[in-house]
Structure 1
Amino acid sequence: MHFRYICPSLGTPLLEEQETPSKTQSLCPLFVGMFDVCTCWSYRQGEGPFPSWSSWDVRNFLSRKQEEATASNVVEHEGYEERTYPARKWVCTSDTGDSEDENGRDRAMFKRLYKYIRGNNNMHKRLAMAAPVTTEVATGDATNTYEMCFYLGEDHQASPPAPNDQLVTIQDRPQITVFTRTVGGYMRDDEDWLTEAARLAQILEAGGETFSLDSMYWVGYDAPFKFWHRRNEVWLLKN
């Protein structure tokens, strides 16, 4: 027997079928706007297609405030902010590609990092999901390079567990100063992020700022099942 996962908000099925999980107490269709796909979560940990948000994940997210990377200095301007983030540790993975394979690329990177915080590390330790999730994008002649990172909370900054997956690394990100602004809704694909980057660049140019477009960060703060008051940002590095 197979179960086809349906996304009510889109009215379209996920292009994947799975066997109905055994001993499942409940399956709930859930739209994952980050990757423009559908998924479900159940009361049994690890069931459903990626990402497997268990009921523990959902309750944990809804019952507490996520720890967040904080800027050490913020300067507000008309329509944008200048922020300095201190050096911190992040867990990261990278991939290459273009817009033709963006959904598979993002899902693969997110899955590696999500497995790390769910215990795929040398201590078999579960880490709380912190915010934000950043994707650094560096453009190339033929392909772009994408590096997705999860912020590691303060409890794990000194000595985070080592990843078991060779494609996942702990990165010591140096202090950076960025220009950004916050926009809502779902960023569904590369085009949405690049459109926001172009709008931010226009605002910065009008403000007389100097910045780099050689690389940028696409930054998300919210779980996919948060539908309102979402927070998305493009970070452009200050020259």
Structure 2
Amino acid sequence: MKFLLVSVELTFVIIICALRKFDVTAQTYVTKYGRSDSPPYQEIGTFYEGYPDYTYEERIYDSAYWITTQSASGFNILFQYISGRNVKQKKIPMTSPVLTTVSSFTYYNAPEMAFYLPPNHQNNPPSPTDWRAKLKKFPSMTVYVRRRYDGWGRYASVQSELSKLKRSVTFDKKKFVSSMYATAGYDGPRHSGPRRYEVWLFAEEK
């Protein structure tokens, strides 16, 4: 058994070392592949591209306002906010992704769900009238991301992708916040075909 475990670990190391030469680095600003309804980010690189069990992206997101909630009725609360349940009674376009952050304290609190506020609402976002919704200005952040096109991002799939992401990032000796992760959903319930979701790890601040 010990020999088998060593062999598996050695095989993984050999594969990862072989894949390093396929790393791609880019320094361009992008918004959801040509769409303007997502927060802008700087793509640092796509690593192990072409090898789906190891591929991940590294991104830097700008500081921005998001509307958030930790209520069990999270989506409805946020949707009501952008539908006009705010102090300005302003309707705000729906954006993507719907970001859900899970931490080691989720047992005591529901995961935090968040909608990004579009650029024309970033300077003076309207305050929510529902106490369960909170405006937050997320700081600039570096995230490690795995993308999938697979149904609704069910728990088993998310955990599988999260495990793969942690494995690759750890092998690259990049530090991340081990007590939390996030899922990002891009497609609404009426979308036909495979739905895109992502799994995020947050880089530790240097």
Same fold (TM over 0.5): yes
Structure with greater proportional strand content: 1
Q: Secondary structure in 1 aligned to 2:57?
A: strand
Which of 32, 39, 54 lines up with 1:69 in the alignment? 39
Aligned to 2:68: 92
1:218-237 paired onto structure 2 within 5 Å: 218-237=183-202
Which stretch shifts more, 136-145 or 161-170?
A: 136-145
Q: Secondary structure in 1 aligned to 2:41?
A: coil
Q: Secondary structure in 1 aligned to 2:162?
A: helix
Alpha-carbon distance, 1:228 to partner: 2.4
Alpha-carbon distance, 1:189 to partner: 3.7
8 A contact 1:81–1:181 mirrored in 2: yes
Query: TM-score normalized by structure 2?
Result: 0.73
Alpha-carbon distance, 1:152 to partner: 0.3
Aligned to 2:58: 82
Unmatched tracts of structure 2, length 5 or more: 1-34, 49-54
Which stretch shifts more, 74-83 or 183-192?
A: 183-192
1:1-239 paired onto structure 2 within 5 Å: 67-78=37-48, 79-95=55-71, 105=72, 108-140=73-105, 142-143=107-108, 145-239=110-204
Distance change >3 Å, CA 76–CA 189, structure 1 → 2:
closer
Structure with greater proportional helix content: 2
Unmatched tracts of structure 1, length 5 or more: 1-64, 96-104
- Which residue type is aligned with residue 169 of structure 2? L
Alpha-carbon distance, 1:66 to partner: 5.8
**CA distance in 1 between partners of 2:97 and 2:179 (Å):** 22
Q: Secondary structure in 2 aligned to 1:211?
A: coil
**CA distance in 1 between partners of 2:129 and 2:106 (Å):** 32
CA root-mean-square deviation? 1.9
Q: Secondary structure in 2 aligned to 1:194?
A: helix
Total equivalences in the alignment: 164
Aligned to 2:23: none
- Which residue type is aligned with residue 167 of structure 1? R
Q: Secondary structure in 1 aligned to 2:111?
A: strand
After TM superposition, which residue ranges in structure 1, 4 or more long, deviate above 4 angstroms? none
- State, as a whole percentage, how many aligned pairs show the same letter: 29
8 A contact 1:185–1:228 mirrored in 2: no
8 A contact 1:138–1:144 mirrored in 2: no
Distance change >3 Å, CA 199–CA 143, structure 1 → 2:
farther
8 A contact 1:83–1:179 mirrored in 2: yes
Distance change >3 Å, CA 125–CA 82, structure 1 → 2:
same
Aligned to 1:98: none
Q: Secondary structure in 2 aligned to 1:218?
A: strand
8 A contact 1:216–1:237 mirrored in 2: yes
Query: TM-score normalized by structure 1?
Result: 0.63
Alpha-carbon distance, 1:142 to partner: 4.7
